[in-house]
Amino acid sequence: MSSAIEALYIYDELNIPILEHTYRGRPPPADALLSLFLSHPAPRPSLLYLTSATPPVSVFSITHSNLLFLVPSSTENEPLLVLEFLHRVIDVLEDFVGAPLLAAKIQSSYDVVAQLLIEMCDGGVVCNTEPNALRETVDVPGWMGKLLGGVGLPGASPALGPSNPLKSSLALSTTPNGANAPAIPWRRQSVRHTSNELYVDIVETLKVTIAPSGRPISALVNGTIVFTAKISGVPDLLLSLSAPGGQSNISHKVQLPVFHPCVRLARWRERPGELSFVPPDGRFVLAGYEVDLLPLDPEQDAPPNHMEKLFLPATVELQKSIGPNGMGFEVRLTLNTNFPGSPSSRGGGGGGGGSGNIPGHNSGSSTPSFLGVGANSATSASPTLEEVIVTVPISASVRNLTDIRASRGEATFMPGNDALEWRVPTTSKDAGSISGTATLRCTVVGPLSNSEEEEAEERVGGGGGGEDDENRPARTNPLLGYYNESYQTAREPITTMKTSTSTTTFAGLSSSSRNSTTKPPKKPSTASSLMPTSATVSFTVRGWLPSGIRVDALIVDTRKSRGLGEGVKPYKGVKYLCVSRKGVERRC
């Protein structure tokens, strides 16, 4: 299956097309394609097949920074290739134009954007998506070029390349053998840095589901290794990773790995855990992986020989139908900061926002890496638990929550919200006070009973008095809208009644409807149906990874490296970060 990009359309936050770039064929116009795309009800998937178009087309879409990116296709394409192309376009535009990516930036730099789109895709075939390689071919005017162009002097033409003969000769003289493309596509030539620094940032996202019995059902980790290279020349690096159970266990630990094109796959296959590569200049994603914290041997349907115990720094339990009338529930949060695998003797401490020195290597002054945390944040020797938030989904039948009492932190809930949020602080002068148990109790207020609804209808509709309903003059009640918004969601639907507006739900009833004794009875709401069925907890841990993966060493191979300079010892730093956004879910 051959994939081809026919066109790329970019729309701003008002769905106004700001860029139309056609590569091949005759795709539908941007306005016509947008109307067909928006006719599909939200949420819209990344791939839509529009049968109403003539001829029918497939539309690939991505939304980023309030900008909509669409790629139409009249033939069968590989979906992942097209979607990956869109992501590469966004990354490259942010690199050249600046992040965040805004419509005004694209419009003001259309000359650069046009060059990028032409270089990234030639005749519909994706060819060059590396930012460092694009910098060798795309002319980005600097402030001097803009100044000379503004006064009418010879400058750089974005479309035709450098118009100055001297600039052209200098560009050819600095390129070996007159080649236009660098030998390594992902690294620019003649890279120079005054301070040589290498940073490794490993970020893992934790997702755990716990059964009502307390047994974990699933525990998955998605990891990302982000590398920042600020080093001169063309360095050849070797990054060694380890996992609990020894170096040989990392091949079983790391599942579904994906790598940047700079990684030598043969070295990883021969020695799992070793990444040999020549890095691009700047920050990039070196690798990604997945870890199952509850693995099973497919042959024996049993856990492997070595599997560490599942550790969670924050867990939550839910007890419902408590209190004298069974209308209350209690949430119990347990925090544990005794992180496993964090020996205090491990490498260097490293200041600069928890960026520890990699063991076995000399280092210079500490500089924070791109994750940018404060000077008081944790290292791998003393992880820090932060941003603990408990979320309890609330049924739509619940009118309100009363008697909200939290032993620690602050809980908030507004009528009409779909969840109760409980924020628990973890910053304390006494570090030992973070671990422990905190509780939250609430009382559920259910929907109105039939008698209460009838009384509310009589009050709102002006019930009583000696006048007939047909002859009673219309009255305006300022509470009418409040009752409609608060109580009509708790009613059983009445299919035979139709009103012109939602503000006439009570007052718009006819006399026969108000006085009829055959009103459909309302089903009683039990306390169990109003109770929450799950609770989730979110948190962030700096200096700890749930998978146990660590960086053992980062070595610069001086024999294979070029242009680094003799006696240069770059600073090397590493950070670990665990993020769980509503990741630990307890069902009940």
Given phi > 0 = left and psi -120 to 50 = alpha, else beta, which region is 314? beta
Contacts of 188-194 with C-beta under 8 Å, sequence gap 24+, read 188/132, 188/133, 188/135, 188/136, 188/281, 189/136, 190/563, 191/231, 191/232, 191/233, 191/234, 191/281, 191/563, 192/232, 193/230, 193/231, 193/232
Query: Does 260 map to a domain?
Result: no
**For residue 507, pLDDT beyond 90:** no
Query: Does 77 map to a domain?
Result: yes
Residue 218: give its domain's CATH number.
2.60.40.1170
Asked if residue 548 lies in contact with residue 244, where contact means CB atoms within 8 angstroms, the answer is yes
Of 486, 453, 446, 423, whose CA–CA distance to 328 is shortest? 446
Q: Would the pTM of this model clear 0.75, i.e. be above it?
A: no
Query: Does 12 map to a domain?
Result: yes
How long a stretch of residues is the chain? 588
Question: Do 442 and 538 belong to one domain?
Answer: yes
- Per-residue pLDDT, 137: 83
Query: Does 64 map to a domain?
Result: yes
- Per-residue pLDDT, 244: 82
Alpha carbon distance 252, 291 (integer Å): 9
**For residue 475, pLDDT beyond 70:** no
Average pLDDT of the segment spanning 145-149: 46
Q: Does an H or E element contain 199, and which?
A: strand 197-210
Lowest mean pLDDT among 12-21, 186-195, 494-503: 494-503
Question: Do 316 and 444 belong to one domain?
Answer: yes
Question: Do 91 and 224 belong to one domain?
Answer: no
Alpha carbon distance 397, 525 (integer Å): 9
**For residue 490, pLDDT beyond 80:** no
Which carries the bigger pLDDT value, residue 13 or residue 518?
Answer: 13
Strand order in the sheet with 274-277: 274-277, 237-242, 550-556
Residue 15: give its domain's CATH number.
3.30.450.60
Query: Does 227 map to a domain?
Result: yes
Please write the tens of the pLDDT for every residue from 341-371: 665 433 333 333 344 555 444 333 333 333 3
Last residue of a domain, one of 99, 129, 159: 129
Angle between helix 480-487 and helix 450-461 axes, rounded to 10 deg: 160
8: burial class by Cβ within 10 Å (0-12, 13-18, 19+)? Answer: buried
Q: Helix, strand, or coil here: 96?
A: helix
Last residue of a domain, one of 129, 148, 173: 129
Residue with tokens 């005794």: 338
Q: How many CB atoms lie within 10 A of CB 421?
A: 15
Asked if residue 65 lies in contact with residue 76, where contact means CB atoms within 8 angstroms, the answer is no
Show the domain range for 451.
197-231+294-457+525-545+572-588
Average pLDDT of the segment spanning 225-235: 93
- Per-residue pLDDT, 138: 86
Alpha carbon distance 366, 354 (integer Å): 10
Alpha carbon distance 119, 150 (integer Å): 27
Alpha carbon distance 562, 232 (integer Å): 9
Pairing of strands 436-445, 400-406: antiparallel
Query: Does 485 map to a domain?
Result: no
Question: Over pLDDT 70: what percentage of the chain?
Answer: 69
Last residue of a domain, one of 129, 148, 166: 129
Confidence of residue 135 (pLDDT cuts 50, 70, 90): confident
Question: Do 298 and 412 belong to one domain?
Answer: yes
Residue with tokens 């791109």: 370
Beta bridge partners of 118: none
